[in-house]
Amino acid sequence: MTSTSTVLRASDPMLARTIPSLDGIRALAVVCVIWGHGAATLPQSELVVALRAYLPGGYFGVQAFFVLSGFLITTLLLRERSKTGRISLSGFYRRRAYRILPALFVFLAIVTVLALTGVISGVGPRDIISPALFLRDYWPLDGAWWTGHTWSLSVEEQFYVLWPLAVILIPRAVAVKVLVAGVLLSPVIRIGTSLLPFVPEGAVTYMFHTRADALMIGCLLAYGAGQNWYARILEWIFARRLQWAVVVWLPVSWALTSRFEGLWMYTVGYVGDALAVAIVIVWMMRSPGSPFGRFLNWRPVVHVGLISYSLYLYQQLFLTNHNDTWFGRLTVGGLLALLLAAEASYWFVERPFIRLRVRRERAKTTRGAASRRVDGHSS
């Protein structure tokens, strides 16, 4: 007789080899970032002000990226351990380096050249060094606009350094409890950090230790996949159609953010919005055939998700009032220039390095297999 847990594992879309809708969710996240930065460059009419207050912006896009990162990285680590019986830290860090570093370093090189040639201003050495070392979430908090967005990439990279060790060292059941405790304690951590005399106003928004709850919620999604307790929670939510509460929650939360700012965000907003993102992720993975699910899996939307990292990197150069050329601000020219830069980064930087990594991993696997065959014959 097939056990309940086996049925749950077989039907859980998060355990499938290819998880539906994730690239589409990435696309929506980066569009939120583009809108959030670009809307600030538009004439601030009553309509634009209202749209900025009630439409998801850059903050929400970053929350979505954090939840996705926690979920995907934990899923990959757990799958590796299930398949091979262990997790290779060197392999994990190597894959992350191939994925993240080339596009980032090319972007930083372009910013450096633009600064040295006087095309952009205000860029100092620390504005290049801190993103390269993934410290931009802590230093400099008053840095130049052009690399300011890399604070969120720094948060994710610090997570990538620490979390694989935790997955290896902490048993699954204990890890779930630790993650839940971390999420519950996160408002206290944010408020405590904001009260420290040496922390600048607003800095809580950018720091790893004050924004890690969204990553932890993503990790919980991965740990729950295929587990009975997790399936029961989801069935309870979806049987009562509580996923639609997200549709109400998000605009209310954004309005309260505009009204109360840090008081709302530090206590309820960050956690609530991350949980809402998590519900949307699960909802769309469970319903790829729904109208919205089909939209997320539509090829043009998936492609935007595939180039989302490069879009994230380069939007800072174009969607700003600091760029007063024809390809600056939220204009047709600005969006076209951003799209061309992101496509170039994806096709000429990201993809070649991903292919290089794959080739090297295959060559290493082939050499290892050949060595084992030689050892087997010699014995």
What pLDDT sits at residue 287?
87
- Which percentage of the chain shows pLDDT scores above 70? 92
Q: ω into residue 164 within 30 of 0, thus cis? A: no
Rounded Cα–Cα distance for residues 63 and 215 (Å): 8
Residue with tokens 């070649």: 352
The confidence score (pLDDT) of residue 14 equals 56
State the pLDDT confidence band at 185, using cuts at 50, 70 and 90.
very high
Predicted pLDDT of residue 201: 87
For residue 221, the one-letter residue type is L
Q: What's at 136, amino acid-wise?
A: R
Quick one: average pLDDT of 9-20? 57
- Phi-psi map region of 144: left, alpha, beta (phi>0 left; psi -120 to 50 alpha): beta
Q: Do 303 and 31 form a contact (C-beta atoms < 8 A)? A: no
pLDDT category at 17 given cuts 50, 70, 90 is low
Running DSSP on this structure, what letter comes out for residue 243?
G
Segment 88-99 mean pLDDT: 96
The DSSP element (H or E) to which 189 belongs, if any, is helix 172-195
Residues across the chain:
379
CB 333 within 8 A of CB 327: yes
- Average pLDDT estimate for 66-80: 96
Residue-level pLDDT at 166 = 96
Structure tokens at 106: 């090319």
Lowest mean pLDDT among 59-68, 83-92, 357-366: 357-366
